[in-house]
Structure 1
Amino acid sequence: MNGIVLGGVSSGVGKTVAALSITRALESAGYEVQPAKAGPDFIDPSHHRAIASRPSRTLDCWLEGADGLRRNYHRGAGDICVVEGVMGVYDGDCSSTALVAETLELPVVLVVDAKAGMESVAATALGFREYAKTIGRDIDVAGIVAQRAHGGRHEQGIRDALPDGLEYFGRIPPSSDLEIPERHLGLEMGDEAALPTAALREAAESLRTERLAATASEPPAPETPSRPAEPVDVTVAVASDAAFCFRYPATIERFRERADFVTFSPVAGDPVPDCDAIYLPGGYPELHADELESAGTLDELGSLAVDGLAVLGECGGLMAMSQSLTTTGGERHEMAGIFPADVTMHDRYQSLDHVELEATDGTLTANAGERIRGHEFHYSSVEVDGDARFAFETVRGDGIDGDHDGLTAYESLGTYVHVHPESGAFDRFLERVATTN
């Protein structure tokens, strides 16, 4: 499957809108598009899914390693993979857009804000191409998409200014309809803020679709195959609703490959399904704290955890497994009470980083002494009681208290870190549950 990487000159330049417009343009031309996202993002991929016909792939060198990244890319399907970058092309010390493009040997199409420039757009693009040579990055900046560019003289001025070797792939016209609302973790989710069809169609018509398709290239195959998907006699129940919506498609795929898989909605008050383990992914429990408190599912989940049912929670899942959740408005809500901890929301983010943890004892996702890599991004903080027990020491990142992550009680584990299945964490989760049943 051929691919291209959309790299921004900075955060906020409109990469997501460009990715959606290019996806719409390619699919309208008869290509099947596999969307992907560089970096550990759950929100942008939800917008990809709203436009494309398949889930977005997560591509992050820190979370997956170089070969794991290639494996995850090749698990996709379609004619062309459109990889939306993270931040600016060269930003990020663990897994930048440039590093993802270099690992996959894919060309970079630079998204440049052209609202107030013509020749300066060309100068910016040339600088990004030459900077790769300066720092020894083996990436090909193939050309640009001009974001917020008008047609006519504005567009022609940009095209005329581009030097040889930098191709003009079209423009995204300025439009208030091509703006996605934001909330504290980034953009709103794709099912909440889908872009109008007419505006996306107009943007797609301003792109040079066939040139984009012709520029795409095929990455090398991974050097090592995926871990064997040996089945285990385990049923995993995954919370899936507006409060628990941050999960990588590869995680669900791994569950389906190795175990039985069911979903339920704590927000809707669904009873906990008959299962051997529960996975509570991240999301927005703070936006649905009233429903979670009154629905009764978390109470049932807490009782099951005390009885020994394995519950694995990540970030929002950790928050729901705690004793209480206090919103920024000061409203306190009772949660599942599995851990002796209380969560408070803040107006500013409390942590944003790639993370590495080392297990102090054997736990659901790691054996003693093993390290796992992941990502943390949260606006909450956790205050723990004196009898709280931690499963991990933080090698990199903040974790729960700066030195530790992974609250553990009974057979359950709750962390601030999100991990990818390429880390092996979810395989260990399934295998541990299978051996203790």
Structure 2
Amino acid sequence: MTDWPPGLLISAPASGTGKTTVMLGLLRALAEDGLEVQPFKSGPDYIDPAFHRAASGRASFNLDTWAMDGALLDAVAARADGADLCIGEGSMGLYDGVATEGLSGFGSSAETAARMGWPVVLVLDVGGQAQSAAATALGFASYRPDLPFAGVILNRVASPRHERLTRLGMERAGLPVLGVLPRRGDLTLPERHLGLIQAVEHPDLETAIAGYASFLRAHVDLGAIRDAAGGGAAHGARDLPPPPARRIALAQDAAFSFTYPHILDAWRAAGAEILPFSPLADEAPAPDADLVWLPGGYPELHAGTIAAAQRFLIGLRRHAETRPVHGECGGYMALGEALIDKEGTRHAMAGLLGLVTSYEKRKFHLGYRRAVLEVPMPGLGAGAALRGHEFHYSTILEQPDAPLARVANADGEPVPETGSRRGTVTGTFFHLISTEGAWRAS
């Protein structure tokens, strides 16, 4: 049995209210105060955890009630071992989820908070309103009576008078005000079409996070935040999923940067050796690796460099002659025949699959995916049902290879992004989060 540390969930009525900057500032400020703070991200977002790690010094993990069953949620939550406090960041609005229930729920941040016993801190953008903000907060606090509610942080407050009037509304509603953040235009993180830029691309991330921490320290009651934490019940130990191979060559650079953190943690915990290499630096995968894994990322921003990386491409093709290669999203695109960038330039990729994708003709793909494998892929047998998430703007021009899986969205509707297989090579547009039931070996 393991005692989880108490925690809080930082959420909001909607996206774009400032919860990520609040989250990063809190993580750093509490760490500066000597606390071991374990960050989590509710939902499938794959960019925020790297920012969390930079702010807290601890790896951040996703908790997802649509894609994870109770056993896996417990296993991921156990990554907080040794921490003093957990802080989770919500996604979208507090109660936003998908239409169809998944393994443990609909994927909402409220479900994550309820399961973990974490009181909710609601970051409320009060621009353009005063006492009326309390009605919004009260609605969120009372919408689900079983959900613990810690209080609110008022964001983008225009003046002392604005603060006084907004506080009056909160007092009338009986809602604690844990902080008041004055309006500032420089408290935003750089973005691109998939949301925030990657943490590794931020021009001065450390300075930005230190600034958020100073701002939060000046305007938020950190003692009240700590005191509001809850949960921390004892739960049985759980196992994370096994690795798909013993020696895994993992592409890691600005073009190939994302695999869900609990997946990599599981591989390492089970004794797998992760052998990082950089395609952008024209590094070949380790010649003695059992498996090459190309994660998602932004290959479309580096397509010319990838096409010219002959040591990487030759090494990858040589590996694929006898041993498995798998790509997710951006990694899948790089395994294909070609990638067309937003200017319309065609770049030759590895050619291990026939996939041709284009960013000149953008098409938005977003959502959970359930896939039933037609054939084995590394670490998983035919017939295994997988849960994952897809988020990209590429358009498929050609997908000639045999499908890897039957893939559907969260409502069970088939999608054309079935993934591909050719010989030892497989690829998917979705990022793997979990399997249904026990992980089945191939």
Q: Secondary structure at the match of 2:201?
A: coil
Residue aligning to 1:327? 341
Residue 201 in 1 paired to residue 214 in 2? Answer: yes
Residue aligning to 1:87? 92
Q: Secondary structure at the match of 2:351?
A: coil
CA distance in 2, matches of 1:43, 1:293: 25
Superposed counterparts of 1:302-341, under 5 Å: 302-341=316-355
CA distance in 1, matches of 2:375, 2:210: 52
Residue 36 in 1 paired to residue 52 in 2? Answer: no
Superposed counterparts of 1:14-413, under 5 Å: 14-77=18-81, 78-93=83-98, 94-133=106-145, 138-150=146-158, 152-162=160-170, 163=172, 165-193=174-202, 194=205, 195=208, 197-222=210-235, 225-226=238-239, 234-258=246-270, 259-274=272-287, 275-345=289-359, 348-384=362-398, 386=400, 388-396=401-409, 402-403=415-416, 405-413=418-426
CA distance in 1, matches of 2:290, 2:122: 47
CA distance in 2, matches of 1:232, 1:191: 27
Structure 1 stretches lacking a partner, 5+ long: 433-437
Q: Which moved more, 1:44-53 or 1:216-225?
A: 216-225
Check conservation: 2:24, 2:209, Cα contact below 8 A.
no
Quote the RMSD (CA, aligned, Å): 2.4
CA distance in 2, matches of 1:254, 1:418: 16
CA distance in 2, matches of 1:203, 1:71: 31
Q: Which moved more, 1:341-350 or 1:260-269?
A: 341-350
Q: Secondary structure at the match of 2:66?
A: helix
Q: For residues 161 and 15 of structure 1, do their structure 2 counterparts lie closer, same or farther at Cα, with a shift above 3 Å needed? A: same
CA distance in 2, matches of 1:57, 1:397: 22
Q: For residues 340 and 228 of structure 1, do their structure 2 counterparts lie closer, same or farther at Cα, with a shift above 3 Å needed? A: closer
> Between the two proteins, what is the percent identity of the paired residues?
35
CA distance in 2, matches of 1:150, 1:32: 34
CA distance in 1, matches of 2:437, 2:328: 15
Q: Which moved more, 1:160-169 or 1:150-159?
A: 150-159
Give the CA deviation at 1:237.
0.7
Q: Secondary structure at the match of 1:63?
A: coil
Q: For residues 228 and 22 of structure 1, do their structure 2 counterparts lie closer, same or farther at Cα, with a shift above 3 Å needed? A: closer
CA distance in 2, matches of 1:14, 1:379: 25
Q: Name the TM-score, length of structure 2 as normaliser.
A: 0.89
- Cα shift readout 1:336-365 (whole Å, capped 9, x = no counterpart): 111012111157552111110111233325
Q: Secondary structure at the match of 2:282?
A: coil
Q: Name the TM-score, length of structure 1 as normaliser.
A: 0.90
Q: For residues 43 and 227 of structure 1, do their structure 2 counterparts lie closer, same or farther at Cα, with a shift above 3 Å needed? A: closer
- Cα shift readout 1:117-148 (whole Å, capped 9, x = no counterpart): 22122111001112224xxxx31222101111
Residue aligning to 1:435? none
CA distance in 2, matches of 1:21, 1:145: 13
Q: Secondary structure at the match of 2:286?
A: coil
- Cα shift readout 1:132-166 (whole Å, capped 9, x = no counterpart): 24xxxx31222101111246333233223214542
Check conservation: 2:336, 2:352, Cα contact below 8 A.
yes
Check conservation: 2:329, 2:430, Cα contact below 8 A.
yes
Q: For residues 180 and 264 of structure 1, do their structure 2 counterparts lie closer, same or farther at Cα, with a shift above 3 Å needed? A: same
Amino acid at match of 1:391: L
Give the aligned length.
422
CA distance in 2, matches of 1:47, 1:76: 17
